[in-house]
Amino acid sequence: MSHRILLLGAPGAGKGTQSAKLAEEYGVEHVTTGDALRANKDMETEYGTPRSFMEAGELVPDPVVNEIVEAALADADGFVLDGYPRNLEQAEYLSEITDLDAVIYLDVDEEVLVDRLTGRRVCDECGANFHVDFQPPEEPGVCDECGGELIQRDDDTEETARERLDVFYENTEPVIEHFRDEGDLVEVDGEATPDEVFERIRGVLDE
Ligand code: AMP
């Protein structure tokens, strides 16, 4: 089976963590709009820079994001796509540029998401994710993987995290409904350790 995997879920559901594991396990590309945009926060576009949207917890305009995804998917044989599509227009665009083999929704309760987001720390160097309580690094502030500095993302403050969750429920839940209606969606309970969730996803993909 080829692997063109779409991972859906709210901010904090574990998409980034699970995508990284999937990319390694199945030898596919990890395509993530969030990381791509963070690396290009000050890129000039006709809508302004991504930074202002991201710091407010809002969606970056579709044309900017669609272009990033199209370029990334054109270069990828198999992929795990994370952070896109976030609204129905993006879902429509995606259906025009590729076919998917699996669509997985990581289901996590809203209050768990807030706790995960506000306690999250990411490596400034390699992007690895940690959590101050649920997945602390061996040495506070230092990445276990590469020794880089762990920082809090600008948009992981409680206020912006809640805004991002509102944007998710308003714009992205319809995308999940869309895939559910098409009969393509597989739901995975995302409230477990990263390893347990990974085993569940692997079970789905290896079926
Ligand atoms: P993430 O790392 O996936 O939580 O994304 C961080 C931020 O990047 C989001 O809050 C948005 O501002 C922006 N972003 C990421 N992916 C998209 C997308 N598909 N469409 C619009 N904005 C996005």
Does residue 196 sit within a domain?
yes
Does residue 160 sit within a domain?
yes
Q: Please tell me if the CB atom of residue 11 comes closer than 6 angstroms to any atom of ligand 1.
A: yes
Selected catalytic residue, list 153, 162, 180, 200: 153
Q: What is the CATH number of the domain that holds 131?
A: 3.40.50.300
CA atoms within 13 A on the CB side of 80: 22
Q: 6, 8, 30, 33: which to mutate for ligand 1, most atoms within 8 A of CB?
A: 33
| Contact predicate 96/70, CB 8 Å | no
Does residue 72 sit within a domain?
no
Question: What single-letter DSSP state applies at residue 169?
Answer: I
Q: How much is the average pLDDT of 145-168?
A: 96
Residue ID of nearest Cα to ligand 1 atom 9: 54
Task: Indicate the pTM of the whole model.
Answer: 0.94
123 backbone dihedrals φ, ψ, rounded to 5°: -75, 130
Which structural domain range is residue 148 located in?
4-28+77-205
Please provide the average confidence, as pLDDT, over all residues in the chain: 95
DSSP 82-148: ES---SHHHHHHHHHH---SEEEEEE--HHHHHHHHHTEEEETTT--EEETTTB--SSTTB-TTT-P
Q: Does residue 1 carry a pLDDT above 60?
A: no
What's the total number of domains in the chain?
1
Does residue 37 sit within a domain?
no
Q: Does residue 49 carry a pLDDT above 90?
A: yes
Does residue 44 sit within a domain?
no
Q: How much is the average pLDDT of 111-126?
A: 96
Rg (CA), the chain: 16
Instruction: Give the tens place of pLDDT for each residue, 60-115.
Output: 999 999 999 999 999 898 999 999 999 999 999 999 999 999 999 999 999 999 99
Instruction: Give the tens place of pLDDT for each residue, 130-142.
Output: 999 999 999 999 9
Question: What single-letter DSSP state applies at residue 40?
Answer: T
- Between β-strands 4-9 and 102-107, what pairing exists: parallel, antiparallel or unpaired? parallel
CA neighbor of 89 nearest in space, from 107, 65, 111: 65
Res. 2 pLDDT band, cuts 50 70 90: low
Predicted local distance difference test score (pLDDT) of residue 207: 83
Ligand 1 centroid distance, CA of 11 (Å): 9
Does residue 178 sit within a domain?
yes
Predicted local distance difference test score (pLDDT) of residue 38: 93
Q: Please tell me if the CB atom of residue 120 comes closer than 6 angstroms to any atom of ligand 1.
A: no
Predicted local distance difference test score (pLDDT) of residue 119: 97
Does residue 153 sit within a domain?
yes
Ligand 1 centroid distance, CA of 123 (Å): 18
What whole-number percentage of the chain has pLDDT above 70?
99
Q: How far apart are CA 195 and CA 48, in angstroms?
A: 39
Q: Please tell me if the CB atom of residue 175 comes closer than 6 angstroms to any atom of ligand 1.
A: no
Q: Please tell me if the CB atom of residue 15 comes closer than 6 angstroms to any atom of ligand 1.
A: no
| Contact predicate 102/18, CB 8 Å | no
Predicted local distance difference test score (pLDDT) of residue 87: 98
Token pair in block for residue 50: 């991504």
Does residue 67 sit within a domain?
no
